[in-house]
Amino acid sequence: MAFEKQTFWEDISTANTIGIAGHIRPDGDCVGSTLGLAAYIRDNYGKEPEVFLEEVPVAFSFIEGAERVVTGYPSREPFDLFIALDCGDDGRLGKAMNYVKSAKKTYCIDHHATSNGFLENNLVLPDSAATAQIIYTLCEDSKIRKGAAEALYLGIVHDTGVFKHSCTTRETMEVAGALLDHGVSSSRIIDGTFYEKTYLQNQILGRCLMESVLCLDGKVIFSSIDRKIINLYGLGPSDTEGIIDQLRVTKGVEVAILIRELTPRSWRVSMRSCEIVDVSKICSMFGGGGHVRAAGATMSGSRRDVINNLLAEIEKQLTAEE
Ligand code: 5GP
Ligand code: MN
């Protein structure tokens, strides 16, 4: 069904119970868009949506409402309204799909090119840099308070890599500027949640850079983190954030690949590209998805199988371009 802004807000104002969830392994945009929308509803509609996330990474715990996030997906009475943010298919929503199945009304608001319109009402804008940016455009600027503004700014900062990825547009900068007017401290969010790294995160970044390999005449850079390393350092999912971005800016590189072993022979894949290769197309072929320049998937096989499969697809796209 087509998304209508007016109906969306009417549905929010008439619902007695509202649930909001983002994708599994939440990132800045996932946390920022869910908590930003929840804060806006709390501030303007006098009701408290329940926000469900797998976890809130420690660096984001100061965002308003983070302490009330429900983890573990407990069973709940069916929601009048359930909103899925920043994810475009049931696999990405994970266990929150149970709330969707029983909810009276459902909405999906997302910006992934591979989003498949899986809910009743879907607003998918692949040209938006972040789901948080879409949420801002649905809200009335004068009704946004500082807590909601900080959350939305967090989402935009993270999905644009601090306004440097190609998804950053004039609208992105204008939305971010408007959010600053609501009292957001940009340095707290940019330094505190994006650039600041723990000693452990820096160590693993250094290790991944040192062990990286160049392939396809230096157009592809690849690095991996296996279970041995994960256990040795006690790494959590957010400890490897940002490594892929550092790999991508290697001179001459078009595609960066980072793979992390989840269970034996199962790998979490992150891909980034600069100008040519559509990595969402490649990740979709292996059951994942994402954006043209940033995508992910979960793949099985040995490390060598995974890299060979990905390189073959990258090579096809690079050759087609020549
Ligand atoms: P990351 O590499 O940071 O995990 O993900 C890059 C982008 O691709 C993010 O926008 C993320 O939401 C998306 N993405 C990552 N993994 C998957 C996946 O398995 N399926 C889908 N549909 N999107 C993914
Ligand atoms: Mn996003």
Please tell me the distance between residue 295's alpha carbon and the centre of ligand 1 in angstroms: 5
Please tell me the distance between residue 296's alpha carbon and the centre of ligand 1 in angstroms: 4
Per-residue pLDDT of the chain in tens (322 residues, 90 and over written 9): 789 999 999 999 999 999 999 999 999 999 999 999 999 999 999 999 999 999 999 999 999 999 999 999 999 999 999 999 999 999 999 999 999 999 999 999 999 999 999 999 999 999 999 999 999 999 999 999 999 999 999 999 999 999 999 999 999 999 999 999 999 999 999 999 999 999 999 999 999 999 999 999 999 999 999 999 999 999 998 899 999 999 999 999 999 999 999 999 999 999 999 999 999 999 999 999 999 999 999 999 999 999 999 999 999 999 998 7
Please state, in angstroms and rounded to a whole number, the distance separating the CA atoms of residues 60 and 227.
26
Residue nearest to atom 12 of ligand 1 (CA): 290
Q: Read off φ and ψ for residue 297, nearest 5 degrees.
A: -165, 170
pLDDT of residue 1: 74
Q: Which of 29, 10, 31, 28 is nearest to 20 (CA)?
A: 31
Q: What is the DSSP string of 263-277?
A: ETTEEEEEEEESSS-
Please state, in angstroms and rounded to a whole number, the distance separating the CA atoms of residues 286 and 266.
12
Q: Which of 273, 152, 144, 138 is nearest to 219 (CA)?
A: 273
Residue nearest to atom 16 of ligand 1 (CA): 296
pLDDT of residue 163: 98
Please tell me whether residue 261 adopts helix, strand or coil conformation.
Answer: strand
221 lines ligand 1 (CB under 6 A): no
288 lines ligand 1 (CB under 6 A): yes
pLDDT of residue 321: 84
Where do the domains of the chain lie, and which CATH numbers do they carry?
5-195 (3.90.1640.10), 199-321 (3.10.310.30)
Please state, in angstroms and rounded to a whole number, the distance separating the CA atoms of residues 187 and 238.
20
289 lines ligand 1 (CB under 6 A): yes
Instruction: Give the number of the ligand closest to the Cα of residue 243.
Output: 1
Residue type, 311: L
Q: What is the DSSP string of 40-71?
A: HHHHHHS---EEE-S---GGGTTSTTGGG-B-
Residues 82-105: b if buried by 16+ CB within 10 A, e if exposed = bbbbbbbbeebbbebbebbeebeb
Tell me the two tokens of residue 70: 């429900």
pLDDT of residue 90: 95
Q: Match 């256990």 to its residue by tokens.
A: 231
Please tell me the distance between residue 45's alpha carbon and the centre of ligand 1 in angstroms: 32
Please state, in angstroms and rounded to a whole number, the distance separating the CA atoms of residues 274 and 161.
13
Instruction: Give the number of the ligand closest to the Cα of residue 110.
Output: 2
